[in-house]
Structure 1
Amino acid sequence: MPPSATTSENAGTFQNHASQEIAIVGGGLGGLALAIGLLKHHVNVHIYESAAAFSETGAGVAFGPNSTRALGLIHDALLEGYKKHATFNENRDHDHTFLSFRWGMDEKKEGGNKAGDLMWHLEDLWNTEGAQKLDVRTRSCIHRARLLDELVALLPQGITSFRKNFVSAEEQLDGSVKLYFADGTTALASAVIGCDGIKSQAREIVCGPSVQATYVGEYAYRAMVPKADAEKALGKELARNGQLYCGYGAYVVTYPVEHGDFTNMVAIPRESGESYSWSLADWTVPTTRDEFVQHFKGWYPPLVEVIAKYCGPQKWALFNLQHSAPYYKGKICLLGDSAHATTPHLGAGAGMAMEDAFILSSLIASVKSSEGIESAFRAFDSVRRPRTQQLIKNSRIAGLATDFMMPGVEDDTDRMKDHFKAWYKWLWHEDLEAQLQLAKNLLKVRDDAITDRLASI
């Protein structure tokens, strides 16, 4: 049932300014998850989406334990919808395995490992019961379109306006926020939350024009390979369970989606040298299979051959958004990629948006009215900016590690494993409910300080 029909301990407590809704700019995964969380708490929302309909680019997305926990914390029905489409490692011996690390090419030493050889299985060694309680496993994957469908199914009719290209927003004298759109229309809201992705227009208002996504010198080739061809090329074990192939200057990740009907394969080479550029306006450019094969000469032949057969006609540039600016300004806040876009090397970007949605929706509900919304945004920024910006740093270094380019590690797989274990322990086992309580404590400290100042007047 839609979240607006559910009950909540905060039900009926939040009062929007002048009966206006909170405006969510952008109808991607993060924006819709936030809307569901707010509606569960009976907070009125309206979504403004630039496209003519809800849609998602890309193919598979991977969720770890932190991400699936966040889905359930946002709304039980969201987690249940996710589980209908989630694909896991088929081999039950790998229920707690996120990825199996392998050599993508021969080791550069006499008698070294060969392409395709196993390095190690990256496993959740710290809290295997957590995933089991949610009836998932350490790694789960879903096609973005299926997750979008489940999010949309939880939204009531009439809360979305399509073909609305957001241009700007400004606070009014009565405390509301006025939104301006490219078609000349406007709208009023209690507050605005920018969920408009890496090219965010809302971010320019909040952070200023100097905070821009940066090309990181890597790009991705993508292939969605039918089950039969993936198994023929790689065998059932490799095709039906998540794998990460490391190499000198590149890596390839593969994992099953759509309940194993397809294997999603993504190959990411790194540009050589210190100078490289790519316009954010054209973050996908045409490519050819021959170009892909040229980049991956010397790699595991069955892997290269099957990706070349199904490689898409475009390659995707990788950007991130490393900065120190607050994620809010007044009654305008940022969520997900608009605030902290990251590289995909730890498989955590979409999951971070789900964490954001849980924390922010709960904080907004806790401040009781639109007059306290800026305090909620401030508390959100205090607890989310350190974690999300740390992820960006960790992910960049993880990309170097998989390319055997991490200083002091290179192709020493034992040292590499130690780093990945530390990164994933930090990522997977954040206590989101404790983080929310910390943010609420920050709200209370500020409220108490205001009360004390008023008492002294």
Structure 2
Amino acid sequence: MASPIRIAISGGGLSGATLFHALHRLPHLDVHIFESAPAFREAGLAIGVTRNAQTALELMGSTAIQALEHAGAVPMRGVRFVLAQGEEQSKAIGEVDEKTAGKRLTSIVHRAAFLQELLADAPQERLHASKKLDRVERRADDSLSLHFTDGTAHDCDILIGADGIHSTVRKIILDGDRAATPRNTGVWLIMTLHPCEEAQASIGKDSIDFELPYEYSWIGRGTYILHNVLSDGQHGQLVQFVVASKDEGVEPDQWHRTVSSSDIKSLYQDWPQHLRTAVDEAKPDHRAMYLWEHPPAPTYVSGPLCVMGDAAHATTPWQGSGGGMSTEDSLILSTLLGRSITPRDAVAALKAYDQVRRPRTQQIVESSRITGDILTGTSEQLREYVDTPGKLLSRWDFILDIDMGKHRDEAIAIMERELEVR
């Protein structure tokens, strides 16, 4: 009987946890996951799980989609894009609900709750916290020795970097290429959570009814607001607000900035009163983060190393697809590695993964940036979307309507061809 293929996942966020959830059940794989933080946890508030991502979870197996349900995901019944400034204020320029779409829409889930469910039944001896990857040694037999900053090491056959936008594994794979590091898009955002009753009181029930789980995007002139409803197991229904704006003179290496209450009042002074009230919190200052993305990489793979999720294709959030792309990555990698019998097979699996995933994910990163310019009112194309009903929503078609089964089968065929060549 062949020895198990030893797989290491660097990064214990949602991307790595989703892949680990699928792989650790396979008896011919010896999978371990390493997280640099002292515990497996997720930063940030909520994540949208689009229908393509939900299909990917279903194709990975019943436990994956159940993890989403157990985490308290709230299905959005509709999505609405509305102009918030100018003579056409409050004009909807894109709107869809489950009935008109004839399809399920995005579900919103708290990141920490979803991560907890994905790792709920994980063998504890395979979860390693406080393990920040320092360097990787490749041996003559193509096996790997991972060295961590605490002085420990781990041997494996395959290393999968799910270590986020600052990925160490990406830098190793790209080895000095300019695409190894991310770039600043100049847009900052602030995310806040509010109890549903508090949010309803501030925004007014005549304007928005939070009992109807719709996601709203409000488009201003260089400004933007999103709000949606999510569930928290301890606090019940919560409303997430996202406030964003674009800076023209931002420093290229700037990750955060302080936004004062007066800044927000100035930026949103021409917005409808109920929206100004909702974003005008009592805090004098807010910590905002800039949105970064990865330039297109020439490869996601180098021999027995690969990257996935934000380590491969960090994107702006404008089309809600960062988590979806990671979930798709997990489906393809778990399918291909699940068909691998030897480390040689697994290397062929990584090559097939790169060929099928890189074009799609880089197209989404580019589309998201352009969509962000439209939604923040800084694009010259905005007028086209205002005047053409349905055009804005069509930007999501290639993302949401992918046939995930066909996508998976394409990757399998590429892997089989790669093995035949060998």
Q: 1:239 maps to which residue?
A: 210
2:83 to 103, 128, 133: 103
Cα pair distance change 1:167/1:246, threshold 3 Å: same
Distance in 1, matches of 2:151 and 2:159, equals 18
Q: Residue 201 of structure 1 aligns with which residue?
A: 168
SS of 1:51's equivalent in the other structure is: coil
- 2:310–2:326 contact (8 Å) kept in structure 1: yes
Which of 11, 15, 21 is 1:36 aligned to? Answer: 21
Task: Note the 1:74-113 alignment, pairs <5 A.
Answer: 74-84=60-70, 85-89=72-76, 95=77, 97=78, 99-105=79-85, 107=86, 112-113=87-88
Q: Is the 8 A contact 1:78 1:151 kept in 2?
A: yes
Structure 1 counterpart of 2:247: 271
Deviates more, 1:332-341 or 1:363-372: 363-372
CA distance, structure 1, for counterparts of residue 188 and residue 151 of structure 2: 37
Distance (whole Å) between structure 1 residues aligned to residue 276 and residue 34 of structure 2:
42
Tell me what 1:144 maps to. 111
Give the secondary structure class of the aligned counterpart of 1:44. Answer: strand
Match of 1:336 in 2: 309
1:14 Cα deviation from its structure 2 partner? 7.9
C-alpha distance in structure 2 between counterparts of 1:432 and 1:126, whole Å? 22
Q: Shift of the alpha carbon at 1:238?
A: 4.4
**Corresponding residue for residue 302 of structure 1:** 274
Aligned residue identity for 2:243: A
The residue aligned with 1:442 is 414
Contact 2:196–2:239 (CA under 8 A) maintained in structure 1: yes
Structure 1 position 117, deviation (Å):
4.2
Report matched runs for 1:93-172 at 5 Å.
95=77, 97=78, 99-105=79-85, 107=86, 112-114=87-89, 116-123=90-97, 128-129=102-103, 131=104, 138-172=105-139
2:366 pairs with 1:366 = no
Shift of 1:406: 2.7
**Contact 1:78–1:154 (CA under 8 A) maintained in structure 2:** no
Q: Distance in 1 between matches of 2:420 and 2:115?
A: 41
Bigger proportion of residues as helix: 1
Aligned mates of 2:277, 2:51 — CA distance in 1? 33
Are 1:394 and 2:379 matched, yes or no? Answer: no
Indicate the RMSD between aligned Cα atoms, in angstroms: 2.2
Alignment partners' CA distance in 2, 1:223 and 1:86: 18
CA distance in 2, matches of 1:405, 1:245: 13
Find the aligned partners of 1:164 and 1:127 in 2 and give their Cα distance.
45
Please give the alpha-carbon distance, in whole angstroms, between the structure 1 residues aligned to 2:44 and 2:4.
35
**In 2 relative to 1, CA 125–378 (structure 1 residues): closer, same or farther, beyond 3 Å?**
farther
Read off the aligned partner of 2:133 and give its amino acid letter: F
Q: Distance in 2 between matches of 1:178 and 1:125?
A: 53
1:424 pairs with 377, 389, 396, which one? 396
**Aligned partner of 2:346: which letter?**
I
Question: CA–CA distance in 2 between the matches of 1:50 and 1:14?
Answer: 31
For 1:247 and 1:207, locate their aligned partners in 2 and report how far apart those are by CA, in whole Å. 39
Paired letter, 1:303: L
**Pair 187,54 (structure 1): closer, same or farther in 2 beyond 3 Å:** same
* Equivalent position of 1:186 in the other structure: 153
Counterparts in 2 of 1:390 and 1:124: CA distance versus 1, 3 Å: farther
- Secondary structure, counterpart of 2:9 in structure 1: strand
**Change in CA separation of 1:239 and 1:303 when aligned onto 2, cut-off 3 Å:** farther
Aligned to 1:227: 196
After superposition, the C-alpha distances for 1:268-288 in whole angstroms (9 at most, x for unaligned) are 10113xx532426xx234433
Render the CA deviation track for 1:321-357: whole Å, top value 9, x for unaligned. 1213200101110010000000000011011101100
Once residues 415 and 119 of structure 1 are traced to their aligned partners in structure 2, the CA distance between those partners, rounded to angstroms, is 8
- Mark the CA change 1:298 to 1:437 in structure 2 (over 3 Å): closer, same or farther: same
CA distance in 1, matches of 2:288, 2:191: 7
Q: CA deviation at 1:15?
A: 4.5
Q: Is the 8 A contact 1:167 1:181 kept in 2?
A: yes
Shift of 1:227: 0.8
Q: Does 1:27 find its partner at 2:12? A: yes
Return the TM-score normalized by structure 2: 0.91
State the Cα distance separating 1:123 from its structure 2 match.
4.6
* Correspondence 1:253 to 2:242: no
Q: How many angstroms does 1:247 deviate by?
A: 1.0
Where does residue 292 of structure 2 map in the other structure?
319
Contact 1:88/1:256 (8 A) holds in 2: no
Q: Point out where structure 1 has 5 or more consecutive residues left out of the alignment.
A: 1-12, 90-94, 132-137, 451-457
Total equivalences in the alignment: 410
Q: Deviations over 1:399-426 (max 9, x none)?
A: 11112333344375133741x3332111
Structure 2 gaps, min length 5? none
Shift in CA distance, 416/40, structure 1 to aligned 2, threshold 3 Å: farther
Q: Match for 2:358 among 360, 366, 385? A: 385
